[in-house]
Chain A
Amino acid sequence: MKVLVCLKQILDPDVPARDFQIDSAAKAARRGGANLVTNIFCENAVETALQFREAAGGDVKITALCYGESSAEDCLRKAMAMTVDEACLVERDGNTNPDAEAVGRVLAAAIQRLEQDGGPFDAVLVGRESGDWGVGQTGGLLAEELGRPALGFVESLQPGNGSVTLRRQTDVGIEVAEAEPPFLVTITNNEDNVPRIPKTRDVMMSYRKPLQKLSLADLELDSEEIRTGSSIFEVDEIFIPADEVECELAEGDTLDERVDQLARRIHEVVASIG
């Protein structure tokens, strides 16, 4: 079987709020001293794919695909260090924030190109949303571009008999589904798909694994429309909300006094609900 995982490189979402700044001309976050990292849900997707390969007894080839700047090579190397087999980077100019439609079209074209050369992917895995803009539309739009069925918020894939068993989270519990390849899933986090830390040896090995580079021209998508990527939406405005409030800390000489104060405040609110 063949599995493809899409990755996005983003500004480290753990940047504390006090260091976070907006570049108002670019209508995006200012990079500042922040690192670029792989979006966490994409890493959950890599981990999910690796566990699927393990459960299938190894006969699964995993490809990582990214549409990003040249710096995104790091994300692909890291995925290969996590033991993904091969990678492909579709290079994008810096300085752009293409909408989900443009990204979906580029990823679909790249997937079709890779399939021409190496056969169809049974499953395409995409993170449910990114830690930067978090619009969460890429997976669904990519499924439509590819014309494949899709399921969202999946936490695991298990090999079945000609099909794949999916487990996914909904707002009221867990659902189990059977999927006939080829299909697409968006991946969410759970306790079992926390991304593994690559072993030193695998980090070394990752530099020997194939990383193919494609340009938009290679995919016959080198148009202004795709490069700017604002055919369905664009950011009109972005600002930092001013929402800090004054916190009243419990005071008193003894723990009992302080907790008593806290209890009174809580009781006050609860009693007012009636």
Chain B
Amino acid sequence: MANVAVCVLGSLGYDRAAQGAAGAGRALAESLGGELHVLVIGPAGDEAIAALATVADRVVIGSNEALRDYQPEQALQAAEQLHAAGGGDYVAVLLSNDTYSQEIAPRLAHRLGGSSMADAAAIRMDGDHLLAQRTAYGGKAISIYRLKKQPAVVWLRARGFEPAPEQASPGDVTTVDLALDPPRIRITGREVAAQEGVRLEDAQVIVSGGRGLGGPEPFQELKKLADAIGAEQGASRAACDAGWVPPNWQVGQTGKKVAPELYIAIAISGASQHLLGMGDSKVVAAINTDADAPIFKHCSFGIVEDYKQVVPLLTDKLQAMTG
């Protein structure tokens, strides 16, 4: 059998990322002539399960009260047991790119005796090996890795994959009870950042600021611009490291991977590691004092000017236009 499994966290539901992971899984399963199974770690809403059943040949839900609240050790143990419950002979186990999936992927691969890989933007089989395409050297290169052991446990740049198509008839849904050990690292508190509007990853328009802003206050100025055009706010690592904005605003290699219709980079130089996070934007605009800044090689239009001069005026004009 040449089946493919997609492993999702029940608490995250069937969001755009899970849809993309399932889409990638279906395409891979088709290329192998096998089935697509979805392994669900912990309880998920009825709606999510129904949606998963429409795209998968089989859905296996791992049930245990402890899984209501994500704990890495227990989620990992659950994934391992679900893998066995689903059949245990998967060519690949695919995950999305939320923090939790990222952290359990390599450990799951190790427990299953497979290969692990991160942040794949494209996958395909070559004989018994899975080939995974991803960026390297902070976005300066593209590499294709050959994963030599099965299962290939890979977390994907999931939103970049087409959602899985609905099947003619829904897949089987089974629930298995899991036995879990108490965790030796226990998450005891969560401070979910106040999120106005949509997630950065799902935003249509983003206004990002960088080190050139010189401090936290100018981000208020950028907020006015963002509000005028219904945009979310992001930042470069330099701005996050300086403590001007929270870390989950960071766009780039080690921040959010965004793909809006419009990305406006203000006082951001365009280092490859930043470009890596926003390179899938449809249109990029830049405001920067330095005409030689690399960002100008990666944007459709821009202005070489001090942001202090541009932003208030631009905000006024856009407010007038959008009325």
Contact = CB atoms under 8 A, between A and B. Distances in A.
Nearest to B116: A137
Contacts of B147: 232-233
Contacts of B302: 247-250, 262
B21 to A, nearest CB: 15
B193 interface: yes
B256 interface: yes
A-B complex: 10 closest residue pairs judged by Cβ atoms: A140-B106, A191-B243, A152-B103, A263-B317, A144-B110, A176-B189, A232-B115, A170-B99, A173-B192, A237-B144
User: Interface range on chain A: under 10, 10 to 19, 20 to 34, or 35 or more?
Assistant: 35 or more
B54 interface: no
B241 A189 contact: yes
Given A149-B185, A176-B189, A270-B262, A240 B140 contact: yes
Contacts of A152: 72, 99, 102-103
A132 B103 CA distance: 20
Given A16-B294, A137-B106, A173 B191 contact: yes
Contacts, number: 282
A255 B109 CA distance: 56
Q: Give the secondary structure class of A's interface.
A: mixed
A179 B184 CA distance: 6
Given A17-B294, A169-B248, 7 more contacts: A13-B137, A29-B141, A153-B99, A169-B99, A175-B191, A269-B205, A269-B282
10 contacts: A131-B273, A149-B184, A176-B189, A189-B247, A247-B299, A255-B313, A262-B285, A263-B317, A265-B300, A273-B262
Nearest to B271: A14
User: Interface range on chain B: under 10, 10 to 19, 20 to 34, or 35 or more?
Assistant: 35 or more
A189 B242 CA distance: 11
Contact of A137 (B118, B135, B294): B118
A250 B141 contact: no
Interface in A126-146: 128-129, 131-137, 139-141, 143-145
Interface of B: 72-73, 98-100, 102-107, 109-111, 114-119, 131, 135-138, 140-149, 183-193, 195, 204-205, 229-230, 237, 240-243, 247-248, 253-254, 256, 261-262, 264, 271-273, 279, 282-283, 285-287, 291, 294, 296-305, 309-310, 313-314, 317-318, 321-322
Nearest to B301: A248
B314 A262 contact: yes
Contact of A191 (B205, B242, B254): B242
Contacts of B111: 144
Which residue, of A17, A189, A234, A260, has the highest number of chain B Cβ atoms within 10 A?
Answer: A17
A145 to B, nearest CB: 8
A37 to B, nearest CB: 13
A272 to B, nearest CB: 8
A259 B310 contact: yes
A143 B146 contact: no
